[in-house]
Amino acid sequence: YKRQFGDLEIPCSYVAGDGKKLGVWLNNQKSSYRKRHGLTKEQVQKLEALGICWEGKLESGFERKYQAASEYYREHGNLDIPSTLVYKGESLGKWLNELRLAQNNAGPQNQKLTEEKVQRLNQIGMVWEKKDSWEYRCQLAEGYFREHGDLEISQQYVGRDGIWLGKWLYIQKMQYKKGTLEEWKKERLEEAGICWQSASEIAFEKGIRALEEYFNRCQNADISKGYVMPDGYRLGSWVYRQKRKKRDGKLTGEQERRLTALGVE
């Protein structure tokens, strides 16, 4: 295999011409190597003479870029670098951005960081979140709000300069719900026009307000399915959907209580 392909980066599924599962065998040798005393010294030497890389492609790629980042840190004293920076042949700025995405669970599955990697990166001054980068995205959100009147953006929405604005806003909302969003960020996003409620929560509030108006006027919630409010809101259809959701267990306890208080059983 080495003579034919020039390396030993063999896929686990690779089967040699004689039927031997060479990929599985080599993967087993790597697993044994990671275990203490899993391979003899002679076995290790023979495999290394053939050019085996004990780490997988992803791991060796991480180590190569980590070494470049370490050197940059020693030279400049920080890792606050633009995403376009190439250092010693490595796309260092792009790589650091990918690590930030991974840490926020916004990157590919195979790029999620272990605690060991996080600690090693912290030792060389990793900047997990650049405030100016966060502010730039917030300004993009403000611009969207001025143009469209809301920030109800799908997660797939990509804005100016290729910024994945929909995903970024989703992450901010998730951090808000978990109570991990910093107060200054919360205030800044509210200035930009964010609504912390989901689209379904907003729709529920609109229906409740219409139902309250009807209830205060008529003192009941006996509404036909086809009833339409004077402003065109289809209150009858909304009430019918809430009754169905209640039967199916798709309403929160608070939503059920609010509907019951207005006569919807």
DSSP 119-181: HHHHHTT--S--HHHHHHHHHHHHHHHHHHSS----TT---GGG--HHHHHHHHHHHHHHT-S
**Does 212 share its domain with 181?**
no
Mean pLDDT of 230-234: 92
**Does 250 share its domain with 206?**
yes
**Does 140 share its domain with 182?**
yes
| Amino acid letter, residue 71 | E
**Does 61 share its domain with 114?**
yes
pLDDT tens-digit readout, 187-227: 999 999 998 887 788 889 999 999 999 999 998 888 999 99
Q: Which domain holds residue 212?
A: 199-261
What separation, in Å, do the N-terminal and C-terminal C-alpha atoms of the chain show?
72
Q: Which of 63-77, 128-142, 246-260 has the lowest mean pLDDT?
A: 128-142
**Does 61 share its domain with 36?**
no
For CA atoms 228, 233, 239, 241, give the dihedral sign. positive
Task: Work out the angle between the directed axes of helices 165-178 and 183-192 (0-180°, nearest 10).
Answer: 130
Do the beta carbons of residue 24 and residue 40 sit within 8 Å?
Answer: no
Domain final residue pick, 156, 171, 192: 192
Residues whose CB is less than 8 angstroms from the CB of residue 73 and which lie 6 or more positions away in sequence, other chains included: 79, 124, 125
Distance CA 235, CA 228 (A): 6
Distance CA 208, CA 84 (A): 50
Mean pLDDT of the chain: 84
pTM to 2 decimal places? 0.41
Distance CA 68, CA 74 (A): 10
Total count of domains within the chain: 4
CB atoms within 10 A of CB 38: 14
Q: When comparing pLDDT for 174 and 9, which is higher?
A: 174
- pLDDT value of residue 108: 46
**Does 89 share its domain with 137?**
no
Do the beta carbons of residue 103 and residue 151 sit within 8 Å?
Answer: no
CB atoms within 10 A of CB 246: 16
Domain final residue pick, 161, 192, 223: 192
**Does 67 share its domain with 119?**
yes
Which band of pLDDT confidence, cut at 50, 70 and 90, is reported for residue 61? confident
